[in-house]
Every structure is written in C-alpha cells, then in structure tokens.
C-alpha cells in the first residue's frame, strides 16, 4: 500500500479499464481481477464502461468474503463536464452508473489548456465533494508542474495523486521528483507502453529473472515508487500483471532507467484540443 497525503492507503497496483468497452468482457475482467487479488480498480466517465465495472464489482462482493471497504474504486470527470456545477452532477452520474454508495477517489481527467479556469472550478468542485465526505480522496491526471503549483497556491487541498503517462520510454523524472517532494503519489497510465514490449534488452532481463517483459516493466515502476495501472481483459495477463513478488537488481534497474527518451504515446497536456 502507498500512503496518500490525507492518511488514506491505496493499493500499489491498480487495474486499468481503458478501452474495455465490451460490457460483458469488461464486467468479467473486473471480477477476474478482484478474484486474483487486485483491490484498486480505475475507470473514467469517458471510458463508457462505469456500469460494467460496477457490475463486476457488485458480482465479486456478492460471491466473496470481501467488504466494499477493502476495495479502492477510482473514476474521473471528463473534459466536457468541467466546471463547478457540471462536475458535481458528473460525480452523481458516475456514482449511479457504478451502482456504488461511494467512490474512493475522484480525479480530473485532463487539464483544459484552452480554458484552465474551468479546470480550476472543477478542482473546487472536487474539494466540495471531499469535504462533504462523498469521496475519500481527490486527485488529478495528466498535470504538469505548473498545473500542480497553481492548485497548491490557490486551493486548500493538494491532489492525492497525479495519474500521468509514464513508462520506461517516458520517465518524467522532474515531474516525479516534484510530486514526491509535495506528497503526491504518481500513478502511471500505459505503464506497458500500450504493448510495445518487443525490446531485446528487456527480453534479456525477463529471461534472467524468469518473468515476462510486462512483469519486469511493472516491477520497475514499483521499485521506483510509482503506482502502475496495467490493463487487460485476458485472465492469464491479468494474473501475470499482478504476480510481482520478485526484486530487480541494481543492474536491471539502471538498464531500464537508461531507456528513457521522454517519448510520449499520448498527447501533451498543454496541447490537447479535446
């Protein structure tokens, strides 16, 4: 578990559900992940699967001796709903779709470079939700240092997490350092580089450790103090991505560190137009 800046604990690996749009497949994947031992599920309004995610959670809780309080469920407000009142409504909508009594953590999905005032109003709404006890933690995604500084200088609550694109090819070291210094946990979306794992050096490390390349990359994230959010709808992969009870030695870590190219797969948060 990682400790968030408000004292809440968050499981170190989350199960991502982006692109899991087939309802039955998504529901089964979430249920399978929970059965395997994941306790942190990450979704978003824009994924269009909150209802399926919720059904997977509900089915799991009904059939297993695990309480809702042991799970950590996260969703995000989409760009079109940014603004104070619209965010409050979006939260209720997500809650309804998930079919849960509460959401553990609510995140802003992207800053809006064309209208950052809307993003700040969205943060104000998240603070309202947090203070009223509707969510246990609030955070952001895809924010750079200048965004985080604005929130920290103008608002009461420091984001609990910053979920950003981060993987061996985009290590975002300066941003990670800033987040560490300010008690913000860094979550990594696309930790497996959207499947770009065909790399000779990584394959050698995988062979040496008798693991898959995906496991090596996820373990690198954990040893860096990052929170990866791998996603898969294949049961064997879901299981594999959770079996990370081994240690990468210093040479392995240094080698993976050396792969950094600061190369994005996704868009630059300062340049998005959606």
Q: In whole angstroms, give the CA distance from residue 210 to residue 25.
A: 30
Please tell me what DSSP assigns to residue 8. -
Q: In whole angstroms, give the CA distance from residue 198 to residue 11.
A: 28
Residue length of the chain: 274
Residue 15's SS3 state is strand
Whole-number Cα distances in Å, 40 to 93, 114, 190, 208? 21, 32, 16, 30
- Residue pair 52/20 in contact by the 8 Å Cβ criterion: yes
Residue tagged 């969510």 (tokens): 135
Residue 73's SS3 state is strand
- Residue pair 186/162 in contact by the 8 Å Cβ criterion: yes
| 221 annotated as ligand-binding | no
Examine the residue annotation and report whether 102 is marked as an active-site residue of this protein: no
Catalytic residue among 2, 38, 47, 130: 47
User: Which of 48, 67, 45 is closest to 57 using CA atoms?
Assistant: 67
Q: Is 207 left (phi over 0), alpha (psi -120 to 50) or beta?
A: alpha
- Binding site for substrate: what residues are annotated? 109
- Binding site: what residues are annotated? 109
The set of catalytic residues is 47
């Amino acid at each position: 578990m990682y400790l968030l800046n408000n004292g809440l604990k968050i499981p170190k690996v989350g199960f991502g559900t982006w692109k899991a749009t087939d309802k039955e497949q998504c529901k089964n994947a979430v249920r399978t992940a929970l059965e395997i031992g994941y306790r942190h599920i990450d979704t978003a309004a824009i994924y269009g699967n909150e209802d399926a995610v919720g059904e997977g959670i509900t089915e799991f809780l009904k059939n297993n001796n695990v309480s809702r309080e042991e799970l950590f469920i996260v969703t995000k407000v989409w760009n079109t709903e940014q603004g104070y009142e619209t965010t409050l409504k979006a939260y209720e909508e997500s809650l309804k779709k998930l079919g849960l009594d509460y959401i553990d953590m609510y995140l802003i999905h992207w800053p809006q470079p064309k209208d950052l005032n809307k993003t700040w109003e969205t943060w104000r709404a998240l603070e309202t939700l947090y203070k009223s006890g509707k969510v246990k933690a609030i955070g952001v995604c895809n924010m750079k240092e200048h965004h985080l500084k604005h929130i920290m200088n103008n608002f009461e609550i420091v984001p609990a997490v910053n979920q950003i694109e981060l993987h061996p090819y985009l290590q975002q070291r300066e941003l990670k350092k800033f987040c560490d210094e300010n008690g913000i946990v860094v979550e990594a979306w696309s930790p497996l580089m959207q499947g770009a794992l065909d790399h000779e050096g990584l394959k050698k490390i995988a062979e040496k450790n008798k693991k898959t390349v995906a496991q090596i990359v996820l373990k690198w994230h954990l040893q860096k103090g990052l929170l990866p959010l791998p996603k898969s709808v294949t049961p064997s992969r879901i299981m594999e991505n959770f079996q990370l009870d081994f240690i990468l030695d210093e040479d392995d870590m240094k080698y993976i560190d050396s792969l950094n190219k600061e190369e994005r797969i996704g868009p630059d948060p300062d340049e998005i137009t959606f």
